[in-house]
Structure 1
Amino acid sequence: MPKSEPFERHADRYDDWFEANPDAYRSEVEALRRLLPEPGFGVEIGVGSGRFASPLGMQVGVDPASEMLAHARDRGIDVVKGVAEALPFPADTFDTALIVTTICFVDDISRTITEARRVLRPDGSLVIGYIDEDSPVGRRYREEKDDNPFYRDAEFVSTDELVDKLEGAGFSDFEFVQTIYQWPTEINGLEPIDEGYGEGSFVGIEAVR
């Protein structure tokens, strides 16, 4: 999976971003927490270093990058190597599936969403957190992607496009939160966390199977 290669090579650099931008990170976690008050038995798809799975109560994490999985394991996550488009779990396994800052790196967004729905129990929730491509941060990431080893091959998506794909996969009952109104390095303190989307650069969607 070519898009995972930078995460194998630069796992420590990826993880260090959260230490360098603690208030941006905290704002994203708290925004998603509003959609996840009681996650039950949860999996993060594209768990990375476990920076979201751990504070948000996900017990299991799947990722194609071994170096990332090592970090997530250190944060107490039960890790499994695999890809989002072919999850190594039986149907109807989880109460919650979480995908954070990963949807732009998968090879097939529609297949990823379909697989997430497959492994969810009836009435289970899929929560996706991402940088909206139409937002100020999203536009800047796209402009500078050639200079960033992580975003060089990323395919950013808008909220409207993502909702269309979720509806096409059979999800419904959407809830939205948004945060990150400044460039991450300029944030000092917790960013506002609001309902909806269209203003904040980081958007969270909850969708029900």
Structure 2
Amino acid sequence: MDVFKKRAGDYDAWYEKRPDLYQSELRAVSKIGCIGGVEIGVGTGRFAAPLGLRAGVDPVREMLRLAPRELDLVEGVGELLPIRAGAYPCALIVVTLCFVKSPEAVLREAARIAPRVVACIVPRESPWGRLYLQLGARGHPFYSKAKFYTVAEVVKMAQGLAPARVVATLFNPPPGGGIEEPVEATVEEAEGAGFACIEFKRRGI
């Protein structure tokens, strides 16, 4: 992911420039909760640190250098995590599946290290997803590298995991309407949201 190496600062600045979107997304993840867990694709720690996670994994050293030092940070890829099985109570994945080579493998690894997995995405068919697709087609440095998925597709990818609930936000279309409170939603309802988090549990738990 050369773009993240070269533009780590630009990526982090996105959150400063769009505080309402960021706060809406934070509230959605917080509603599900992953305290004491690990974030896969932690980037600069914009979710892990304020939400009380203990650790983060990311393949881009330049991103990790910008993350808060209170996090236990590990350089590694989501498809082959350098973490022992069952090490954390929860694994969080925020807008990372769209940038990895094998989202199925990342979900499988997340389930190996934690009994709960929370995967948050920008649903492809939502107004926000369509906007990012359009920006990507025009050469946006980040969105042009992304492959967006529907909520239903992510549920199908998560072999060995059972969906427990979905929390969604950003139902107001671009440019948005201020900070939105998250709501629990069905898979179908969440497809229209700009940000949706699916909580999974290992089958049999």
- Inter-partner Cα distance in structure 2 for 1:148 and 1:77: 30
- Inter-partner Cα distance in structure 2 for 1:179 and 1:77: 26
- State the superposition RMSD in angstroms: 1.4
* Structure 1 stretch displaced more, 141-150 or 101-110: 141-150
The reply on whether 1:119 has 2:109 as its aligned counterpart is: no
Question: Does the CA-based 8 Å contact 1:179-1:200 persist in structure 2?
Answer: yes
What are the ranges of 5 or more consecutive residues in structure 1 without an aligned counterpart?
none
- Of residues 93, 97, 100, the one that matches 1:103 is 97
Q: TM-score normalised to the size of structure 1? A: 0.89
Spell out the pairing of 1:43-192 with structure 2 (5 A cutoff). Answer: 43-74=38-69, 76-120=70-114, 124-146=115-137, 147-166=139-158, 169-182=159-172, 186-192=175-181
- Inter-partner Cα distance in structure 1 for 2:57 and 2:193: 28
Aligned residue for 1:205? 198
What are the ranges of 5 or more consecutive residues in structure 2 without an aligned counterpart?
none
Question: Does the CA-based 8 Å contact 1:44-1:60 persist in structure 2?
Answer: yes
How far has the Cα of 1:125 moved from its partner?
A: 1.1
How far has the Cα of 1:30 moved from its partner?
A: 0.3
- Which residue type is aligned with residue 47 of structure 1? V
- Which residue type is aligned with residue 207 of structure 1? F
* 4+ runs deviating over 6 angstroms: none
Question: Does the CA-based 8 Å contact 2:126-2:192 persist in structure 1?
Answer: yes
How far has the Cα of 1:11 moved from its partner?
A: 0.7
Number of residues paired by the alignment?
Answer: 197
| Deviations, residues 2-31 of structure 1 (Å, cap 9, x unaligned) | xx2111111111111111110110000001
- Which residue type is aligned with residue 170 of structure 1? G
SS at match of 2:79: coil
- Which residue type is aligned with residue 131 of structure 2? R
- Percent of aligned positions with the same letter in both sequences? 39
* Structure 1 stretch displaced more, 42-51 or 172-181: 172-181
SS at match of 1:72: coil
Q: TM-score normalised to the size of structure 2? A: 0.91
How far has the Cα of 1:57 moved from its partner?
A: 1.1
Question: Does the CA-based 8 Å contact 1:178-1:199 persist in structure 2?
Answer: no
